[in-house]
Structure 1
Amino acid sequence: MAKDKLPKAKGVPNKHLHSRSTFLYQAATYLTLRAGASDANKAQDSVQSSRAPQNHLGLALQLGSDLQTVSRKGQVRLSSELKRTICKTCNTVLIPGRTATQAIENESKGGKKSWADVMVITCALCGSKKRFPIGAKRQPKKAERQPPQAQTSLSEKSAEEPISTVSPMQTTSDQALTPG
């Protein structure tokens, strides 16, 4: 006698991996912001900063690296918004004005094509660049595209053409002799 199988649980598969990656991202962002704030406060209050851990940025980099490792090993896809805010080279959380700079470039014939704008995010630590198109319309996904017009087959084309009475092998003298 076969055992009854329990119904499968509904919801997000590998929920623990999603929650872990979310926590790692939030912690890395917090420590990156904290490292920028401690650099500004370092000149004002040297006594307080000597007691506080000075290696916030190093820990933030380690958490970013852990985030990438967890997502790869657990085969969890990170959202595109989250991936855009992490440097691929050094795993820094890219925060405009703190750890990254943003610029808009348009190298198309002197900037005449407005749909060719590209946002370039440059990492302040390693100098790597990420480029994202801004004004261009995205092509619809393959499932949402309309299929191309069906081309007629050769048999349909040959059926539509009229059949000539003169064969191509006849010569001009044969055509002149044939009453027509």
Structure 2
Amino acid sequence: MAVSKNKKGTSGGAQSHIRARLTYLQKAATYIYSKQQDFKPGTHTEETECENTTPKTSISTQSPCQAPEEENRDQEPATASLPNPTIRYCLPRQYISHMRGVSRKTQQRLSIETKRTFCKRCDLILIPGVTCTEEIQNASKDRKKPWADVLVIRCSGCETEKRFPQSDRRSKKLKERKQDNKESKDQTAIS
């Protein structure tokens, strides 16, 4: 007799460790971002202490997320104490970029909900009103077609737009249209 194979319970298959890694990177990026949002520039001095104690060398060891030193010198003292948004979100961006790279290399698809939480161009976590702006656009004449509403999410870091249709009414695919036409012809032939 044939022996039945034991099915794995909820382990998630052969690549469950990759899924866990992707989930962890996304959660870590959102957690770090939320903690950086709680940070108030005037209340915490550890960051400024670290900047003052680091020696400046002539060799450029900047990462893409760090601002050049010349820009910081030219800024006014009032704005120099406020962290630049592109610098402040560097670690979450790096985690999101790493998550996307892992998913590409392992050929694991990210869910639609996951992909909609970050900018595909600059890897910034998209939070409405904070790092992105949302608006509903309707390009139809006088906005007469309610099914033409499109949600436009604009990233504040790189000004990239994501557009998502908001209507429940969607056009049928070609295969479905052919099948409907075939059924209607069959019904008329029977009558």
What is the TM-score with the length of structure 1 in the denominator? 0.68
Alignment-derived partner of residue 92 in structure 1? 124
Residues 36 and 98 of structure 1 are in contact (CA less than 8 Å); yes or no, is this contact kept in structure 2? no
Calculate percent identity across the aligned residue pairs.
38
Alignment-derived partner of residue 145 in structure 2? 113
What CA deviation, in whole Å up to 9, does each residue of 1:20-78 have, x standing for no partner?
0001011111222233332xx10x31425536897651111100100101111111111
Q: Distance in 2 between matches of 1:108 and 1:136?
A: 17
Q: Distance in 2 between matches of 1:12 and 1:143?
A: 33
Q: Distance in 2 between matches of 1:25 and 1:120?
A: 23
Show the 5 A alignment for 1:62-141: 62-139=94-171
Which runs of no fewer than 5 residues in structure 1 stay unpaired? Answer: 153-180
Give the secondary-structure state (helix, strand or coil) at the position aligned to 2:139. Answer: coil
Question: Which range is displaced more, 67-76 or 134-143?
Answer: 134-143
Give the secondary-structure state (helix, strand or coil) at the position aligned to 1:90. Answer: coil
Which runs of no fewer than 5 residues in structure 2 stay unpaired? Answer: 52-82, 187-191
Alignment-derived partner of residue 7 in structure 1? 5
Supply the AA of the counterpart residue of 2:23.
T
Larger of the two Rg values belongs to structure: 1
Relative contact order higher in (CA < 8 Å, ≥ 6 apart)? 2
Residues 121 and 130 of structure 1 are in contact (CA less than 8 Å); yes or no, is this contact kept in structure 2? yes
User: Per the alignment, do residues 133 and 52 of structure 1 end up closer, same or farther by CA in structure 2, a change over 3 Å counting?
Assistant: farther
Higher helix share: 2
Alignment-derived partner of residue 175 in structure 1? none
Alignment-derived partner of residue 37 in structure 1? 38
User: Per the alignment, do residues 140 and 113 of structure 1 end up closer, same or farther by CA in structure 2, a change over 3 Å counting?
Assistant: closer
Q: Distance in 2 between matches of 1:144 and 1:18?
A: 34
Q: Distance in 2 between matches of 1:46 and 1:16?
A: 37
